[in-house]
Structure 1
Amino acid sequence: MDRIENEEIVDEVDDGNKLPEDLDAYEHHFISVLENTKNIFWNLLSQQEQKYIDDFIVLPTAAQALYARLFQRKGPWFRTCSLDNYLNSRRIDWNLGFSDELLSKHPLQRALKCLLNNGFISNLDQDTTKYLNVLEAIEKACPASEVALIMAAIGASSKVKTKREMLEKLRSHVSSQRRLDGSYLPLATKLQRILYDQACYENKSKDDTFLFQIEPQVRNAFRRMHHLTYLASPPVVPMRTPPRATSWTHWKNQFLTNEPLVWPGLMQNFGRLSYPIYNVTPNSSMFLSKHDLVLYECSRRLRQAMYSITETMSIDSGVTQEVSLTIEWLDHSSPKLIAFQRKPSRDEEDNWKMKCYTDLEQFLWNLTDFDVLVLEMRHSLKACEWNLNGVRPVFFEHFDGRYQLVKGLNGAVTYYEKLGQYDKAVVLLQELLGTQHVAYKRGTWYNRLSLNLQQHLKQPQEAIAICQQGLLDSFLRECDRMPLQKRLERLLKQKGPEKDGDIMPSYDSVTIEGRPLNRAMGEKSRFIGYDDAGCSVEELVLQHFKLEGWYGSHREGLELRMIFGLLLWDVIYMDVPNVFQTPFQDRPLDLDLRYAEHFYSARKSEIEAVLASLETMSKTELAAHITCQYQKHNGQCGYQMHWDIPLVYLQLLASGIGAKSLSSILKLWVHECDSSGMPDLIVVRANAKDSSGVFEALEAYCDPSQEDSDTIPDIPSDVFSVCETQLIEVKGPRDRLSDTQIVWLDRFRQAGITAKVCFVEEPNSKKPNKRQTKPSAPKNPKRSKAQNKSPKSILGVSIARNPQEIIEIDCSDSN
């Protein structure tokens, strides 16, 4: 799930509540999560977590609704006076379920009292030695005017103006001033008195709760339960770029702060989301024991920390204390984290589970060196001992703790390369290739390892051995073998004989000339368009093809993926055991390039029936079929569905491709379940005899910025039978085709779909003719060349070693 940008996103949707009038969306969602956890994962919870659920379910409804709202806010400190707007909710009965004694209190105080008595929230700590917690509460929840009153109450100087200055002065005064008995000043007592005086409701009491926090341990437990419920659900809102961190303290304040998340079930309660209807078969066998669950949750948390650091910490902010390998990299010691040290006995499991979570958070709070995190993840991966008592479905693989650790270390490789610490990257790549997890990344690992060995560590022979071994790896995909083969040929400085399976795919291309606005390396190319306005390289190509009657958009295959999803809708959401774990999935768990083989084999006959039926459709019948599917499922969070794309546009594109070609490309796609590398542009053209109004409508439907499609004139139905579609990969002056893109161009060629590359050149960009020079006599090789000296150790140890120590990687199947 994704973090919410601000609290208003949660608050503002209250008006759209789609539940019956007697149900509160927040409370209903929170209770449903707890009941789901109790029904499916009860045996995986500790006794303390089970107690949290049991105690919460019996609370009065108003207390449940209040906590559910607070859970969706940032906190952790809250002012009671800021919650008054909740009293206006018609869906919360503030009198139901309370004792007669509590009914005499203010409605908010009734609910807060219940939460306080059950340990879900806590008041200000009256222990004077814990004044730092009180200072934190003042900083988070009190305005400057109240801070000034607090300073006056304890006798601190108030000759400062800003809140920051007042807080610093207050901190200094409280920490340095003592009473006669040696105790600290009673800051919490003074604050409680001031807040009491500020309260403006009847029947207030000095014992009322005016400032409180959600208990962190309880909140973290409920958060884990929410993650369990939505384990298989996709993010609700697009990922946002995290803010940059300038120091380790800054990073920890960002990463270790609980922020509200957008939960799919809550958004569905408000009518914001709608999911396809399918048979849900929840299964707790993805975790066979509490130990498995703890390893997964702790590993996922480490992976999240790794991602956060690599995305937010700049490479010049001192993320590592050592720039080269140290002795700690030479051996695998035992992990420091309790979760990975040993498997607990049954008697120890309850206490052990909660200790693991606390220990992990403390480890992250103390983190000040990127190497420490990487080494701990390496040691944890090595120490993970899984005692699986049964066989789990292959698509449960990413619920494995080792999978999460491998994904995290994969991110560390890229970061070390950015830091220029290639020896560390090489060590990690070797260890990743030695695992049997995240197999779809193996081609990337072989390529990165051979590149680092050859280019950065000057070990060409070992780079050759890695390439050769990679080409023998059965896990490699077609798009991974191509760059590895090219690299091997460059290393050997010769082109080997072409084999039947090694022929380089061919593709059509066209070249146009563009007037550049910039020519800097590393910047996205900008050009002067045909309308003399600035535009991107993709927009320039669209303008060029428009001159030939083609209209389209730049969505990088989004429209084609949506057509795939509509045509295969019934197959995607058919009843297959265990692939739907929650009602909030946009796809089955096996619809993924990692599990494509299972996706196809589990639905083989149904897929072939759909493709056979599709192949016989005429263009008009295909357009009608897409209309039926579009209107039937419009608005649902289905696989690759983007309902802002007009129906007519999808009809035109599909008709231009043709049913037979669509059937052919789908037949290739269902074996891969991967659409990365699709062409940038998709364009359509209609060769209609009566073209009156047709081209204007085409241009409007293809325009991504067109918001109101109702105002666009209709396109005659006979246009579907005469339209053409082609896909275009755009390459600017300093771009080159990736191997994945080449593979997709070849797939379209095989399916009979027109796909080409459009190269955009700048004027006068031709390379000058090279002057002929006399051949010079070969120079004696320098002693510093890599091939004339013993290979440098990637571990930074100056000893002779056998290259086999590096390149021998176990590629055996773990099954």
Structure 2
Amino acid sequence: MDLVTRCIDLSENRLCTMPKQENATTRECLPSFFSRFSASWVYSKILTLGVSVYERDRRYEDAIRILKILLSKVACDRRRGYWALRLSIDLEHVGRANESLSTAEGGAIDPWVRAGSKFALQRRVLRLSKPPRRWKVPSYADYVKRSIREVSIEGRPLNCETGAKNVFYGYDGELCGVEQLALQYYADEGGGWQGTHSEGGIWMTIFGLLMWDVMFSDIQDVFQSKFQTAPLDLETDDFYKSRKDLAESQLKKIQDGMAEEMLISSWELHQGTSCQGVNWVRYSLTDLRAVVACIGGHRLASLLRHLAVDYRSWSSGMPDLLLWRFLDERGGGEAKLVEVKGPRDQLSEQQRAWILVLMDFGFDVEVCKVSPVTKRR
């Protein structure tokens, strides 16, 4: 523990005394995607880990001090959402509710706070800002409070031990997890759906295949080695900004119903070539074609644009299941996304944020809650 504390103290001292130009990522310096190779990024990473150490030991005042330093010294960083959220929580732990609320309010409007972190901070603001502490209702209150459709299914559990992995007997009598049980339900009683338990995997594969030319376009400095599987700026705001015209051209084709044709062409041209997010083994071309056909061009283009604009913030937390089915012989179909939760499981803030975004895009999305039954089917 002494060694850990020394590392934290050293990083805190170095970050606090670092000259301003070395501490911030600016246009006049290196491109933003090189920031993780800077000394300040390394020190801030150590301090971020140090916060979790202090919180584990309930040293909340030390965690608060470190988090305030990070937020004041590192201006342009996607981790600001995590820092603001932890600071707000730790301030509440020590009884400083007003400061906790102010921190959450500031984090919720910070342009570097995105996705689940932003949603979590907004929810904290709504919880902490009860009158008389705050009388004005935030503009995002109705959006955050929107209801999410839920369905409930039952399964016979292997065991009911608290903390144990959820294992159920499936419809076929074999042991399976909650996701496989839900897949069996949707294939049978739930409406004859085909599907896969992929979380974000299938979406990352579709993104890579349909946006291949955008990812590997000729942009200065983003490829430093022939062995890269993605441009260095993929997880930065510069990715979309530097390729906006090309990206929008691809997305327009997708929106106009050309996604299946583009998918086939990309598959045939690049099959087997390593690309970040693309899984050539797990997903077949047949299934990928069925997925894009059933989703529809407008919804698919909206989702892929969302990833292109902010790949890092939104590349995790997508619903567990992607389901599809054809309605007629002419190829008309529909798709559904399902987040599966076992007994005692709750939606994470990132998952909740994704579900609301997908609802905005017009997707059919729901939460499937699996509860145990003791009697045999």
Structures share a fold, TM > 0.5?
yes
Aligned to 1:535: 176
**Counterpart position of 1:567:** 210
1:409-808 matched pairs, under 5 angstroms:
409-436=47-74, 439-455=77-93, 457-493=94-130, 498-502=137-141, 503-504=143-144, 505-547=146-188, 548-592=191-235, 595-596=236-237, 598-617=238-257, 621-644=258-281, 645-673=283-311, 674-688=314-328, 721-763=331-373
| Larger RCO (CA within 8 A; separation ≥ 6) | 2
Inter-partner Cα distance in structure 1 for 2:44 and 2:121: 22
Deviation at 1:482, TM superposition (A): 2.5
Following the alignment from structure 1 to structure 2, what is the Cα–Cα distance between the partners of residues 627 and 581?
Answer: 29
Contact 1:508 1:756 in 2 (8 A): yes
Q: CA deviation at 1:477?
A: 2.0
Higher strand share: 2
Map 1:99-118; keep pairs closer than 5 Å. Answer: none
Verify the 8 A CA contact 1:576 1:602 in the aligned structure 2: yes
Does structure 1 conserve the Cα–Cα contact (< 8 Å) formed by 2:200 and 2:319? yes
Give the one of 6, 16, 30 matched to 1:382: 16
Change beyond 3 A, Cα 1:659–1:575: same
**In structure 2, how many angstroms separate the alpha carbons of the residues matched to 1:526 and 1:493?**
41
CA offset digits 1:660-680 (Å, max 9, x no partner): 221122222222223211111
Identity %: 33
> In structure 2, how many angstroms separate the alpha carbons of the residues matched to 1:747 and 1:533?
35
Deviation, structure 1 residue 442: 1.4
Displacement of 1:471: 3.3
- Assess if the C-alpha contact under 8 Å between 1:668 and 1:747 holds in 2: no
Structure 2 residue matching 1:664: 3-state secondary structure? helix
Distance, in Å, in 1 between the alignment partners of 2:140 and 2:245 is 28
Q: Which has the larger radius of gyration?
A: 1
Take 2:106 and 2:20, find their aligned partners in 1: how far apart are those partners?
28
Cα RMSD after superposing both structures: 2.4
1:42-95 residue CA offsets vs partner (Å, 9 max, x unmatched):
xxxxxxxxxxxxxxxxxxxxxxxxxxxxxxxxxxxxxxxxxxxxxxxxxxxxxx
Q: State how far apart, in whole Å, the 2-side matches of 1:540 and 1:632 are.
A: 37
Rounded to whole Å, the distance in 2 between the matches of 1:512 and 1:580 is 48
Give the whole-Å Cα distance in 1 for the aligned partners of 2:340 and 2:198.
Answer: 12
> 402-411 or 531-540: which moved more?
531-540
Counterparts of 1:500 and 1:427, CA distance in 2: 31
Deviation at 1:478, TM superposition (A): 4.6
- Once the 2 structures are TM-superposed, how far is the Cα of residue 763 of structure 1 from its aligned partner? 4.3
The aligned amino acid for 2:346 is: R
> How far did residue 381 of structure 1 move?
1.9
User: Which amino acid in the other structure matches residue 181 of structure 2?
Assistant: L
Q: What displacement does 1:387 show?
A: 6.2
Residues 546, 454 of structure 1: alpha-carbon distance in 2 compared, 3 angstrom cutoff:
same
Q: What is aligned with 1:313?
A: none
Tell me the amino acid that sits aligned with residue 391 of structure 1: C
**Structure 1 stretches of 5 or more lacking a match?**
1-318, 321-368, 690-717, 765-815
CA distance in 1, matches of 2:231, 2:284: 26
What is the 5 A alignment of 1:74-113? Answer: none
The letter of the residue matching 1:616 is: D
Distance in 1 between the 2:327 and 2:47 partners? 54
Alpha-carbon offset, residue 501 of structure 1 = 3.5
Contact 2:104 2:122 in 1 (8 A): yes
Q: Kindly indicate whether the alpha-carbon contact (under 8 Å) linking 2:77 and 2:112 is maintained by their aligned counterparts in 1.
A: yes
Q: Per-residue displacement from partner, 1:453-481 (whole Å, max 9, x unpaired)?
A: 222x2333332332233334333225323
TM-fit CA distance, 1:688: 4.6
The 1-side partners of 2:102 and 2:361 are apart by: 36
SS at match of 2:182: helix
Point out where structure 2 has 5 or more consecutive residues left out of the alignment.
Answer: none
User: Which one-letter code corresponds to 1:459 in the other structure?
Assistant: R
Shift in alpha-carbon separation, 1:375–1:660, aligned structure 2, 3 A = same
- Shift in alpha-carbon separation, 1:496–1:733, aligned structure 2, 3 A: farther
State the match for 1:81 in structure 2. Answer: none
Alpha-carbon distance change, 600 to 423 in structure 1, aligned in 2, over 3 angstroms: same
Q: Which residue identity does 1:613 align to in structure 2?
A: K
Match of 1:549, SS state, is: coil
Q: Distance in 2 between matches of 1:458 and 1:553?
A: 46
